[in-house]
Amino acid sequence: MSFILAVFMFLVGVLIGSSLQRSYIADAEKTLYYIQSQFEDLESAMYLPYSNKDLTCKYLAIKLQDVDKSLERLQPSIVKMERDLNVNSEMYRMLKTRFISTRLKYWLLSEQLRSSCNPNTTTALFFYTTKDKCDDCTTQGYILSHVQSKVGKENFYVSAVDVNEDLVLIKTITLAYNISDVPAVIIDGSTVKKGLVNESVLIDYICSKITCNSTE
């Protein structure tokens, strides 16, 4: 009897776990679908046949802030799935690939905003790894978030990607910028900071490029 009960409880656990996994992934898929629709709006706006650059740039800035909020809401779900679910499942791998692709697209658009619209913005593409233990990667992520809160999200656009994700664009970027180890941060599409970069160095560098409010 106890064996039958144990088997029953095991099967219930498997079913609940599978249901939770589908629920997490479905919620994340909805958010990614929404973000993709925002990207499509942005791309359409950039090719509109009018010459009001200021209006286009304002629209780009507003939409990117909206996308940033959606990515921020989605991040804890991805982390939770990495921790709690079967990260080797095909559904999860496909979802994470889409998430990283979305972050790369966000970085490319934020670079376009910086270079074409607003010189008082700066961007950072942060490479980390989940394949191996990387305490410096975790620390660098916290530092970038803290710097962003000080400088202002409207001035400092940060996008973080897993360097081990099997995407052609990641391989192209790491090859072009000679990135072979993490953490690494590309600032404004040109300057590469390798290894752990402390907060004061980042703030000093960023504020040498743009007009910063008080960072105390």
Residue 211 placed within a domain: yes
- 70 and 128 inside one domain: no
For the chain, percent of residues with pLDDT exceeding 70 = 71
192 vs 211, residue with greater confidence: 192
Residue 163 placed within a domain: yes
Write down the pLDDT at residue 2.
47
Write down the pLDDT at residue 73.
77
- Domain with residue 174: its CATH number is 3.40.30.10
Residue 3 placed within a domain: no
State which of 89, 117, 145 marks the end of a domain: 117
Cα–Cα dist 142/103, whole Å: 17
Residue 31 placed within a domain: yes
- 103 and 175 inside one domain: no
Indicate the average pLDDT of the chain: 78
Residue 85: give the domain boundaries: 12-117
- Domain with residue 82: its CATH number is 1.20.58
pLDDT tens-place string over residues 70-111: 888 777 667 666 666 555 567 777 778 888 888 898 898 889
- 101 and 153 inside one domain: no
Residue 1 placed within a domain: no
Site of tokens 């589908």: 22
State which of 90, 117, 144 marks the end of a domain: 117
Nearest to 72 by CA among 137, 153, 136: 153
Please, is 109 exposed, middle or buried when counting C-beta atoms within 10 Å of its C-beta (0-12, 13-18, 19+)?
Answer: buried
pLDDT tens-place string over residues 139-185: 999 999 999 989 888 889 999 999 998 899 999 999 999 999 999 99
- 124 and 212 inside one domain: yes
Residue 4 placed within a domain: no
For residue 119, is the peptide bond before it cis, meaning its omega torsion is within 30 degrees of 0? Answer: no
Residue 2 placed within a domain: no
Q: What is the pTM of this model?
A: 0.78
Write down the pLDDT at residue 64.
84
- 109 and 33 inside one domain: yes
Write down the pLDDT at residue 123.
93
- 105 and 194 inside one domain: no
Per DSSP bridges, beta strands 191-194 and 122-128 are: unpaired
State which of 75, 93, 117 marks the end of a domain: 117
41 vs 5, residue with greater confidence: 41
Number of domains composing the chain: 2
